[in-house]
Amino acid sequence: MKLQDKVAIVTGAASGMGKQIALLYAQEGSKVVVSDLNLEGANTTVEEIQSKGGQAFAIQTNVAMEEDIQSLIDTTVKTYGTVDILVNNAGIMDNFEPAADIKDENWERIFAINTTSVMRSTRKVLPIFLEKQEGVIVNIASAGGLYGARAGAAYTASKHAVVGFTKNTGFMYAQKGIRCNAIAPGAVETSIASTMTNINQFGASRQQRGMRINPRAGKPEEIAKVALFLAADDSSFLNGTVITADGGWSAY
């Protein structure tokens, strides 16, 4: 098994890509910390892992709160002794707002969840990784972090920031046995659309132009396989980079 005896934290693991990553990591031998704001959903993920003989526990985490990030890492170390893999998957969409329509509170909330949480969790695990001289970080970015109009301005900016943070972290710690990479999924069949509450019609009309050339939507399980590759030794020479997983959408 590719992750035998590893300890992995997966945020946003109650559903969608995070859930499938957690299930696959457990299948490959990892102990998994299933983190999500939705504790009931996180517990369901844990039950599925345990029903197949895997090891996992659930923890409720609001990734926008620094104290919750601290508790997530500390509880993992207390329970399993260490952390080997961190998957920063938790995220929310904006409502396709273009720049003129952004409200400060929405901008700050999107960045808190999509970007600042990635920094804080990375900052928290790095002392553990540095002491061991090994560790893996997998950030779930987005095609929106590579191109200009896969979403609204706030989401796009937040994911561009994740891409930049990933590259910087990967390079900075490359000689310390630490790897940090990201996945940029295209359209994937998840519940993230439920985080959209009041869609901006102008922004959506502009964003939809690009959807017409999208070959298909992906499955969460397909993204999980990429996350497994990045967590395992198979990708030992990949660091500070982004894998685009979008079925060819951006190849046009």
Which residue numbers are catalytic?
A: 155
pLDDT at position 190:
86
Contacts of 14 (CB under 8 A, 6+ apart): 34, 36, 37, 38, 39, 40, 41, 42, 44, 45
pLDDT at 193 over 90: no
State pLDDT tens for residues 61-102.
999 999 999 999 999 999 999 999 999 999 999 999 999 999
Q: Which of 83, 162, 160 is nearest to 125 (CA)?
A: 83
Q: What is the mean pLDDT of residues 232-244?
A: 98
CA dihedral 7, 13, 17, 21 (to 10 degrees): 20
Q: Which of 16, 22, 21 is nearest to 188 (CA)?
A: 16
Q: In the CATH hierarchy, which top-level class contains the domain 7-251?
A: alpha beta
pTM of the full predicted structure? 0.96
Least confident of 120-124, 166-170, 187-191: 187-191
State pLDDT tens for residues 196-228.
888 999 999 998 888 889 999 999 999 999 999
% of the chain at pLDDT higher than 70: 100
Domain map (residue ranges) of the chain = 7-251
Triad 126, 161, 245: Cα angle to 5°: 90
CB 150 within 8 A of CB 109: no
